Amino acid sequence: MSEEKRAELRGKVLRLADLVAYQDGTVASRMIVNKPVGSITLFSFDEDEGLSEHTAPYDAVVTILDGECEVWVAGETHQMREGETIIFPANVPHALSAITRFKMSLTMIRE
């Protein structure tokens, strides 16, 4: 999404789950804020889709907007559903997988 399109969202009441659509057989994303200090990206995951284990150099805050997923953080498993939030610590392995179709917001805080 271009900066111009992101700017159109500013100052408006938004329902985050409505800003990214489900797509069959894949993961879709839409960045709604992108600044040097951090970003907010919305994701939709079709059933059985996910992100493989990885690390990130910054803390990441994930909030489930719709559906259910399973997340792994440093070898510990958590089942999450709409309205729940988890913080992935910087440089700690994490992954996630859809239990049902789900949507999430990812807020990256850069240092």
CA distance 26 to 14: 24
CA distance 100 to 70: 10
CA distance 37 to 53: 24
Q: What is the mean pLDDT of residues 30-47?
A: 95
- Note the pLDDT tens digit of each residue in 55-89: 999 999 999 999 999 999 998 999 999 999 999 99
Percent of the chain whose pLDDT exceeds 70: 99
**Binning pLDDT at 50, 70 and 90, where does residue 1 land?**
low
Q: What is the DSSP letter of 67?
A: S
All structural domains of the chain:
3-109 (2.60.120.10)
| Secondary structure class of 20 (helix, strand, coil) | coil
